Structure 1
């Protein structure tokens, strides 16, 4: 199930996107209060935007713009809105997103072709290990996408290893949709309860919310731990509520594939200009085919690298490498630039660490400080030194590391109303 446009040449894909861009600009010029006001105040004539390169003549849309003018982005009357979701609010106040029937159909199409990209077929059964409630778009998208593709889906929800294993035994799902670190909890439960991991029938896992690959697409520490214990294939995904679009890995595991019929993707530098090929920049997107809340040049805050060579899976679309980190979460520590995922990878090396929380703050001099709180059953000076040595070896810096009890850390990691664990707390102004 590869859409025809995704197998076309780069030239044809670009021409297709430029046609869709003109349609999108015409639509928001007529229906979006926010963009109508913006075009008027900036004296912008959308009709002059003819190519993807012309996008650089348009201002970007930021998360702050969405937060401050949320309702002005809605392009349809209330009676056309059939669903409301909110962003997770990781980097600020959650934003409300409205969806029409057409938007839900687009969401289903996106997830169906994304699942298919990761090898899911009609005769497969998916076990959904994330919430479908709490105004969460992803859980809804997975359900709608499975239905569109024709595969089965079991809505188990998050947590509760015993229920997950009971479901695996009863319904024999072939794919799991989950946060990858939860797979370690499933493995631990299986080992404690004499559940064989060799004959579960599970072929693969669609991994969400956490990185599973290094920059060169090799498995990171977390993924190696999973696959060394459980012989399943892991597929990386990248998505956000604002995009209503996913970038899923195919069987080649060389990055998440772009769907040019759904989204225009730019990789920009700090001055909002395209980076050179092979450089890391901020993913900035323009949604295509969205009816209720289309976005123009929206800066996601995620730092990524694009890969443009054709993939041996048959798709010729651009692919996104693993997210390096969030732009706002960049840390300047003792002369070294760090992003949290690099520290996650170091901490995931240690089986003895049951959970952790990273706190970033400013010291009296206004520079960044890092405090890592970890929980382990057997705290000792020797283990603390081992962690410090590993940080020096892998990242060439040594953050402050402290032992804390597991209950207090989990109280921080799972606040009320949170849809996912919080392992990073940024206290910087």
Structure 2
């Protein structure tokens, strides 16, 4: 299979023309098969023949996570006997949503991951260790496996956690790449150091990092990836995806944002009023899936605030690139006149080597204002340390949250919950 699709090297005009053709096919498919979009077109008086260009998408109302939760069943375009896999969203915000996938959808998912991993440099014959769950209705784990299989890589399905087993597997099967939540790499390094393992000379060349950001907005390494690379000189690749999109944006070797796959998804970046933002501004990523059979989505607002980059990449692709997620729209915090997102606070807490575990809790106080409580566990339980954290917050974000010291055993059970796919470092009680 072609792991460097020609459409990605096409001109911007050719990509647009290609996407407009795919959009027309999608609109015909939705009008014929999707109870939700049939109703939407009817209620909004939309004649699909009037939607000819990508700009015409503006005439169609957006779809939200709320619609998916409320009318989950109406989004299905195929009958139950055509569904070969059931996945659910991770439910970061509210109830998880069910996604069925047809045989073709799984094929599309495999293609998406194969070209994404190829983008990050994984090749046929490479050994890849998956430090992610493939069960619990998790689409991503299955997608990684299918994509690696499609591209002819060898997979070691380790699943999350247990550094001892991960190292055993690394020394035994000599993987070149890991797929993991980046903060777990720090746990692996810590285990290797305490147990005298020669991890710096292992077979691992790079890691594809999921679920947490490893870059600043200017594509420099953030604190988390600096901490990993200080100890272990491996390549870290960002990837961004979601169940709803069934599509990934993964970095190439030049590491300046996740490349868009135009044959799989149409992207828009919208401001609070639903208008496209200017080229250098951030906004909410809104997507239209292409080639999905079971639950195609049209103008779905992902809730993620991102910035797009359009200048051609040195790798030869002319596709748009997405920068690191700035934050989730619903997790925006207004604190004493300052607008904040959790990733900025994660960066500050990751800066402290002595913090072994943390959780950020947002709640409303009695007068309805946002209040931030930072729970940390640390070996340094003195008042000076609490002040140091507070000063660091003041210097970087101009806010001074409430800091609470917690026992590691208690806090780590809450953060690394067995039913969660990623560490729960943020809780919104508003």
TM class by shorter chain equals over 0.9
After TM superposition, the structure 1 = structure 2 runs for residues 34-183 of structure 1, keeping only pairs within 5 Å, are 34-183=36-185
- Greater shift after overlay, 167-176 or 354-363? 354-363
Distance in 2 of aligned mates of 1:304 and 1:171? 37
Q: 2:379 maps to which residue?
A: 377
How many residues in Structure 1 have an aligned counterpart in Structure 2? 428
Instruction: Report deviation, 1:397.
Output: 1.1
How far apart, CA to CA, are the structure 2 residues paired with 1:353 and 1:414? 15
Give the superposition deviation at 1:416: 5.2
Residue 362 of structure 1 aligns with which residue?
364
Q: In the TM superposition, what are the counterparts of 1:275-286 in structure 2 within 5 Å?
A: 275-286=277-288
Identify unmatched segments of 5+ residues in structure 2: none
After TM superposition, give the deviation of residue 197 of structure 1 in Å. Answer: 2.4
Aligned to 1:330: 332
Cα distance, 1:301 vs. partner?
Answer: 0.2
Cα pair 1:301 1:326 within 8 Å, conserved:
yes
**Counterpart position of 2:25:** 23
1:205-249 CA distances to partner (integer Å, 9 max, x unpaired)? Answer: 000000000010000001001011111000001000000000000
Alignment partner of 1:235 is 2:237:
yes
Alignment pair present for 1:202 and 2:200: no
Deviation string, structure 1 residues 330-387 (Cα, Å, up to 9, x no partner): 0011111100000000000011101111110111221111000001122111111111
Partner Cα separation in structure 1 for residue 255 and residue 350 of structure 2: 21
Distance 1:409 1:39 in 2: 48
Question: Does the 8 Å contact 1:134/1:419 carry over to 2?
Answer: no
1:289-304 correspondence runs (5 A): 289-304=291-306
After superposition, the Cα gap between the structure-2 partners of 1:215 and 1:424, relative to the gap in structure 1 and judged at 3 Å, is: same
Paired residue secondary structure (2:73): helix
Return the alpha-carbon distance in structure 2 between the equivalents of residues 382 and 260 of structure 1.
52
Unaligned runs of 5+ in 1: none
**In 2, Cα distance between the equivalents of 1:174 and 1:212?**
20
Secondary structure of residue in 2 paired with 1:356? strand
Task: Give the C-alpha shift of residue 42 in structure 1.
Answer: 1.4
Report the RMSD for the aligned CA atoms in angstroms. Answer: 0.8
Distance 2:43 2:215 in 1: 44
| Structure-2-length-normalised TM-score | 0.99
Match of 1:405 in 2: 407
Runs of 4+ in structure 1 over 6 Å off: none
Counterpart selection for 2:188 from 186, 189, 199: 186
TM-score by length of 1: 0.99
Contact 2:181 2:422 in 1 (8 A): no
What is the DSSP-based 3-state SS (H/G/I as helix, E as strand, rest coil) of the residue aligned with 2:424? coil
